[in-house]
Amino acid sequence: MRFSLSILARWLTITLCSGAAAQGGSFTPGAVWLDTDGHPINAHGGGLLQYEGVYYWYGEFKTGRTYLPDCNKSWGGTRVDTTGVACYASTNLADWKNDGIVLAATPQDPTGDLAPSQVLERPKVVYNAATKQFVMWMHIDSPSYGAARCGVATSDRPTGPFHYRGSFRPNAETWPVNATAADQQAAPTNYLARDFHTGQMARDMTVFVDDDAHAYLFYASEENPVMHVSLLTDDYLRPASQYARIFIGRSMEDPAVFKHGGKYYLIGSGCTAWAPNAARSAVADHPLGPWTELGNPCTGPDATNTFHAQSTFVLPRPGHPDEFIFMADRWQQWHLPDSRYLWLPLEFNSDGRPIVRWQEHWSQE
């Protein structure tokens, strides 16, 4: 009897914790989600790209021992050695095939950006129809998070391999579009002097491609109290010397940006390291702003800490016009490879505010 119950328990665990069933596309937020080989999906802090009828999920591949570097003890910045960016593919958002590591760490280059000792976070991939290139942006950093740089990689195929093109701090010697005359006159004594010749700091980030094919990079900057949004060049490989400072003094990170009804929306979080906090939402008439905050979009049990999770991406919900899927990570600070995924429907209430309601189980169809 014990043996039979053990088998039954194992079957129930796999069935209920897979997070997405082949039929119906049912989701269990925060459970262990399995790929089509029966292994836990390993794609953290990531985002999705839809291309030719297939969804590609890119994220940080976390494996190995979780440890706390001495340089991060003041804020609890645990980490695992960098392995690379993983990619999974699905046609229904339910069954995910593992396509492997599409951008790998480089242990043979211990001082490079992709060395296991360095930081690679928040990979996002967009497709450039003009160049026919898949472009990956990511947060590249030192173990102490002092480097604060953007990394860029490209590929001819959504499943890679991606060629790493290097990292940099964006917008060197470029004034933000919303800088005042007083700001410019005060240089080099004001905020711009900090990195005026080397570029602006860039940490948690996302990339948004508008209907007109213009792409924008959103990233936490200036030691995180301010977010920047940069227009990218037509090839999506560099900033186009036009950016804005938004959410000044709000210390907002993990931006997820989407468009609805001709307006632009952003969901982000406060800066509390691995600990969850209340999500924030905002709206604008243009990606460069100005942005108006709308408050916490979450409702239901544990809404005040985003259901123990942190935003990473928002995807249009297939077959449901005017609805989206809010995607977040439920981090396990002391066992990062066991961090989970939380996907929930996002809709709009009568006054045009995005709403994310907690559901223990829900179906995509």
pLDDT digits (tens, 9 = 90+) for 262-293: 999 999 999 999 999 999 999 999 999 999 99
> Which residue pairs, CB below 8 angstroms and at least 24 apart, start in 235-241?
235/128, 235/130, 235/131, 235/133, 235/135, 236/126, 236/128, 236/131, 236/133, 236/135, 236/207, 236/209, 237/135, 237/152, 237/154, 237/165, 238/152, 238/170, 239/170, 239/171, 239/174, 241/171, 241/174
pLDDT of 53 > 50? The answer is: yes
Q: Is residue 308 part of a domain?
A: yes
Domain range for 261: 252-365
Q: pLDDT per residue over 101-157, tens digit each?
A: 999 999 999 999 999 999 999 999 999 999 999 999 999 999 999 999 999 999 999
Neighbours of 164 (CB within 10 A): 20
pLDDT of 98 > 80? The answer is: yes
Instruction: Read off the pLDDT of each residue in 67-86 and give the average, rounded to a whole number.
Output: 97
**Winning range, highest mean pLDDT, from 12-16, 25-29, 173-177, 302-306:** 302-306
Q: Is residue 365 part of a domain?
A: yes
Work out whether strand 119-128 and strand 133-141 pair parallel, antiparallel, or are unpaired. antiparallel
At 169 the pLDDT is 94
Average model confidence (pLDDT) across the chain = 90
Task: Report the alpha-carbon distance of residue 16 to residue 21 in Å, rounded.
Answer: 9
pLDDT of 174 > 90? The answer is: no
Structural domains counted in the chain: 1
At 185 the pLDDT is 64
More confident residue, 94 or 2: 94
Q: Is residue 277 part of a domain?
A: yes
What is the domain-level CATH number for residue 297? 2.115.10.20
φ and ψ at 38, to 5 degrees? 85, 15
Q: Is residue 225 part of a domain?
A: no
Task: Report the alpha-carbon distance of residue 103 to residue 124 in Å, rounded.
Answer: 12
Q: Is residue 68 part of a domain?
A: no
